[in-house]
Amino acid sequence: MKLDKDSEIEFCQQHKYLGVIFDTSGRDDKEIRSIVIQARKRIACLNRIQWSKDIRNERKLNIYNALIKSSLLYGSETWRITENNKRRIKATEMDALRRSSRISRKERIRNVMIRQQIGLEEPIIKEIEQNQLTWYGPCPKNGIRKLPKITLKWMPKQKRARERPKRNWMEGIRKAMNERNLNEGQWEDRKQWGLGVGQRRTTF
Protein backbone atom coordinates (compact mmCIF):
# COMPACT_ATOMS: atom_id res chain seq x y z
CA MET A 1 0.00 0.00 0.00
CA LYS A 2 1.42 3.38 -1.00
CA LEU A 3 0.73 6.57 0.94
CA ASP A 4 2.51 8.79 -1.57
CA LYS A 5 5.35 8.56 -4.07
CA ASP A 6 8.02 8.07 -1.41
CA SER A 7 6.14 6.24 1.37
CA GLU A 8 4.95 2.64 1.21
CA ILE A 9 3.39 0.43 3.91
CA GLU A 10 4.88 -3.03 3.87
CA PHE A 11 2.45 -5.97 4.02
CA CYS A 12 2.95 -8.39 6.92
CA GLN A 13 1.11 -11.39 8.38
CA GLN A 14 1.36 -10.13 11.97
CA HIS A 15 2.13 -6.86 13.74
CA LYS A 16 2.30 -5.92 17.42
CA TYR A 17 1.25 -2.39 18.35
CA LEU A 18 1.01 -1.10 21.94
CA GLY A 19 1.10 -4.67 23.23
CA VAL A 20 -1.78 -5.81 20.98
CA ILE A 21 -1.19 -8.41 18.27
CA PHE A 22 -2.86 -7.89 14.89
CA ASP A 23 -2.77 -10.61 12.24
CA THR A 24 -4.49 -11.58 9.01
CA SER A 25 -6.52 -14.43 10.57
CA GLY A 26 -9.07 -12.12 12.16
CA ARG A 27 -8.84 -14.10 15.40
CA ASP A 28 -7.71 -13.06 18.87
CA ASP A 29 -6.10 -16.39 19.80
CA LYS A 30 -2.49 -15.20 19.49
CA GLU A 31 -3.13 -12.02 21.45
CA ILE A 32 -5.02 -13.78 24.26
CA ARG A 33 -2.39 -16.52 24.42
CA SER A 34 0.31 -13.83 24.72
CA ILE A 35 -1.66 -12.05 27.47
CA VAL A 36 -2.11 -15.31 29.39
CA ILE A 37 1.60 -16.11 29.16
CA GLN A 38 2.51 -12.66 30.53
CA ALA A 39 0.01 -13.05 33.38
CA ARG A 40 1.37 -16.50 34.28
CA LYS A 41 4.90 -15.10 34.39
CA ARG A 42 3.70 -12.53 36.92
CA ILE A 43 1.98 -15.25 38.93
CA ALA A 44 5.24 -17.22 39.02
CA CYS A 45 7.17 -14.14 40.19
CA LEU A 46 4.61 -13.53 42.96
CA ASN A 47 4.40 -17.17 44.03
CA ARG A 48 6.09 -16.71 47.41
CA ILE A 49 3.90 -13.71 48.25
CA GLN A 50 0.71 -15.50 47.21
CA TRP A 51 1.41 -18.55 49.37
CA SER A 52 2.55 -16.49 52.37
CA LYS A 53 0.69 -16.95 55.68
CA ASP A 54 1.75 -13.51 56.89
CA ILE A 55 -0.08 -11.47 54.23
CA ARG A 56 -3.81 -10.89 54.61
CA ASN A 57 -6.26 -11.84 51.86
CA GLU A 58 -7.20 -8.18 51.40
CA ARG A 59 -3.59 -7.30 50.60
CA LYS A 60 -3.23 -10.30 48.30
CA LEU A 61 -6.39 -9.23 46.48
CA ASN A 62 -4.92 -5.76 45.95
CA ILE A 63 -1.77 -7.34 44.52
CA TYR A 64 -3.86 -9.58 42.25
CA ASN A 65 -5.92 -6.65 40.95
CA ALA A 66 -2.90 -4.43 40.36
CA LEU A 67 -0.43 -6.88 38.82
CA ILE A 68 -2.30 -9.91 37.49
CA LYS A 69 -5.88 -8.99 36.64
CA SER A 70 -4.81 -5.73 35.00
CA SER A 71 -2.52 -7.77 32.74
CA LEU A 72 -5.31 -10.22 31.85
CA LEU A 73 -7.74 -7.39 31.02
CA TYR A 74 -5.36 -5.40 28.79
CA GLY A 75 -7.03 -4.81 25.43
CA SER A 76 -9.98 -7.09 26.30
CA GLU A 77 -12.54 -4.53 25.07
CA THR A 78 -12.01 -5.68 21.48
CA TRP A 79 -11.65 -9.42 22.02
CA ARG A 80 -13.88 -11.95 20.29
CA ILE A 81 -13.76 -14.56 23.04
CA THR A 82 -14.19 -18.22 22.13
CA GLU A 83 -14.89 -20.99 24.65
CA ASN A 84 -11.26 -22.16 24.44
CA ASN A 85 -10.00 -18.68 25.25
CA LYS A 86 -12.50 -18.39 28.10
CA ARG A 87 -11.06 -21.56 29.61
CA ARG A 88 -7.51 -20.21 29.28
CA ILE A 89 -8.41 -16.94 31.01
CA LYS A 90 -10.43 -18.65 33.76
CA ALA A 91 -7.64 -21.15 34.43
CA THR A 92 -5.10 -18.34 34.79
CA GLU A 93 -7.42 -16.39 37.08
CA MET A 94 -8.07 -19.37 39.33
CA ASP A 95 -4.38 -20.29 39.44
CA ALA A 96 -3.65 -16.89 40.99
CA LEU A 97 -6.64 -17.02 43.36
CA ARG A 98 -5.89 -20.56 44.54
CA ARG A 99 -2.33 -19.60 45.41
CA SER A 100 -3.52 -16.48 47.22
CA SER A 101 -6.02 -18.60 49.19
CA ARG A 102 -3.33 -21.25 49.80
CA ILE A 103 -5.56 -23.94 48.29
CA SER A 104 -4.15 -26.41 45.78
CA ARG A 105 -6.14 -28.12 43.03
CA LYS A 106 -5.74 -31.43 44.83
CA GLU A 107 -8.10 -30.21 47.56
CA ARG A 108 -10.97 -30.12 45.04
CA ILE A 109 -12.61 -26.97 46.39
CA ARG A 110 -15.01 -25.24 44.00
CA ASN A 111 -13.95 -22.03 42.29
CA VAL A 112 -16.96 -20.18 43.73
CA MET A 113 -15.81 -20.94 47.27
CA ILE A 114 -12.29 -19.76 46.53
CA ARG A 115 -13.55 -16.47 45.11
CA GLN A 116 -15.69 -15.91 48.19
CA GLN A 117 -12.75 -16.65 50.47
CA ILE A 118 -10.49 -14.17 48.69
CA GLY A 119 -13.27 -11.54 48.36
CA LEU A 120 -14.31 -11.82 44.68
CA GLU A 121 -17.92 -12.53 43.76
CA GLU A 122 -17.75 -12.65 39.96
CA PRO A 123 -15.30 -14.29 37.51
CA ILE A 124 -13.02 -12.22 35.33
CA ILE A 125 -15.03 -13.14 32.22
CA LYS A 126 -17.92 -11.04 33.48
CA GLU A 127 -15.60 -8.05 33.91
CA ILE A 128 -14.42 -8.50 30.32
CA GLU A 129 -18.05 -8.44 29.15
CA GLN A 130 -18.70 -5.31 31.24
CA ASN A 131 -15.66 -3.59 29.73
CA GLN A 132 -16.82 -4.44 26.23
CA LEU A 133 -20.36 -3.16 26.87
CA THR A 134 -19.01 0.02 28.47
CA TRP A 135 -16.74 0.57 25.47
CA TYR A 136 -19.56 -0.21 23.02
CA GLY A 137 -22.15 2.08 24.65
CA PRO A 138 -21.01 5.47 23.25
CA CYS A 139 -20.26 4.12 19.73
CA PRO A 140 -23.83 4.06 18.33
CA LYS A 141 -24.44 7.59 19.65
CA ASN A 142 -21.60 9.08 17.61
CA GLY A 143 -22.41 11.06 14.48
CA ILE A 144 -22.61 9.20 11.19
CA ARG A 145 -19.16 10.44 10.14
CA LYS A 146 -17.47 9.39 13.35
CA LEU A 147 -14.77 6.76 12.75
CA PRO A 148 -15.85 4.39 15.61
CA LYS A 149 -19.39 4.19 14.24
CA ILE A 150 -18.19 3.70 10.66
CA THR A 151 -15.89 0.90 11.81
CA LEU A 152 -18.66 -0.69 13.89
CA LYS A 153 -21.15 -0.75 11.01
CA TRP A 154 -18.71 -1.73 8.26
CA MET A 155 -19.22 -5.12 6.61
CA PRO A 156 -16.86 -6.60 3.99
CA LYS A 157 -18.38 -7.02 0.53
CA GLN A 158 -16.49 -10.17 -0.36
CA LYS A 159 -17.38 -13.62 0.95
CA ARG A 160 -15.86 -14.66 4.29
CA ALA A 161 -12.70 -16.71 3.83
CA ARG A 162 -12.79 -20.29 5.07
CA GLU A 163 -10.25 -19.74 7.86
CA ARG A 164 -11.90 -16.56 9.16
CA PRO A 165 -13.90 -16.82 12.45
CA LYS A 166 -17.63 -17.39 12.04
CA ARG A 167 -18.61 -15.33 15.07
CA ASN A 168 -17.75 -11.64 15.15
CA TRP A 169 -17.30 -9.17 18.02
CA MET A 170 -20.77 -7.68 17.62
CA GLU A 171 -22.43 -11.05 18.14
CA GLY A 172 -20.65 -11.34 21.47
CA ILE A 173 -21.94 -7.88 22.42
CA ARG A 174 -25.52 -8.86 21.56
CA LYS A 175 -25.22 -12.03 23.64
CA ALA A 176 -23.91 -10.07 26.65
CA MET A 177 -26.75 -7.55 26.23
CA ASN A 178 -29.37 -10.32 26.12
CA GLU A 179 -27.99 -11.90 29.29
CA ARG A 180 -28.42 -8.56 31.06
CA ASN A 181 -31.79 -7.67 29.48
CA LEU A 182 -30.26 -4.65 27.74
CA ASN A 183 -31.87 -3.24 24.60
CA GLU A 184 -30.69 -1.08 21.71
CA GLY A 185 -31.08 2.58 22.57
CA GLN A 186 -30.66 2.26 26.32
CA TRP A 187 -27.17 3.76 25.96
CA GLU A 188 -28.88 7.15 25.50
CA ASP A 189 -29.25 7.20 29.29
CA ARG A 190 -25.72 6.72 30.58
CA LYS A 191 -26.83 6.00 34.13
CA GLN A 192 -29.32 3.35 33.04
CA TRP A 193 -26.78 1.79 30.69
CA GLY A 194 -24.13 1.71 33.41
CA LEU A 195 -26.50 0.03 35.85
CA GLY A 196 -27.47 -2.52 33.23
CA VAL A 197 -23.88 -3.30 32.32
CA GLY A 198 -22.93 -3.88 35.95
CA GLN A 199 -25.91 -6.05 36.91
CA ARG A 200 -25.65 -9.78 37.54
CA ARG A 201 -26.28 -11.99 34.52
CA THR A 202 -29.61 -13.84 34.38
CA THR A 203 -28.19 -16.90 32.60
CA PHE A 204 -25.04 -18.89 33.22
The domain total for the chain is 2
Burial of 92 by CB count in 10 Å (0-12 exposed, 13-18 middle, 19+ buried)? buried
pLDDT at position 1 is 58
Query: Does residue 32 sit in the same domain as residue 87?
Result: yes
Domain end: 121, 140, 166, which one?
Answer: 121
Query: Does residue 109 sit in the same domain as residue 186?
Result: no
Task: Specify if 6 maps to a domain.
Answer: no
Whether the full predicted model's pTM is greater than 0.85, yes or no, is no
Query: Does residue 73 sit in the same domain as residue 168?
Result: no
Query: Does residue 102 sit in the same domain as residue 43?
Result: yes
Domain end: 89, 121, 153, which one?
Answer: 121
Task: Specify if 7 maps to a domain.
Answer: no
Domain end: 79, 99, 121, which one?
Answer: 121
pLDDT at position 204 is 37
Task: Specify if 204 maps to a domain.
Answer: no
pLDDT tens digits for 124-183?
988 898 888 887 876 655 555 566 666 666 666 666 556 555 667 778 888 888 888 887
Task: Specify if 3 maps to a domain.
Answer: no
Task: Specify if 60 maps to a domain.
Answer: yes
Report the alpha-carbon distance of residue 128 to residue 180 in Å, rounded.
14
Query: Does residue 95 sit in the same domain as residue 65?
Result: yes
Sites in the chain below the pLDDT cut of 70: 1-6, 138-167, 188, 192, 199-204
Q: SS3 letters for 41-87? A: HHHHHCHHHHCCCCCCHHHHHHHHHHHHHHHHCCCHHHCCCCHHHHH
pLDDT at position 43 is 95
Task: Specify if 203 maps to a domain.
Answer: no
Percent of the chain with pLDDT over 90: 26
The residue range of the domain holding 165 is: 132-198
Q: Cα 12 to the chain's mean position, in Å?
A: 25
Query: Does residue 115 sit in the same domain as residue 160?
Result: no
Task: Specify if 4 maps to a domain.
Answer: no
Query: Does residue 47 sit in the same domain as residue 112?
Result: yes
Task: Specify if 51 maps to a domain.
Answer: yes
Number of residues written out for the chain? 204
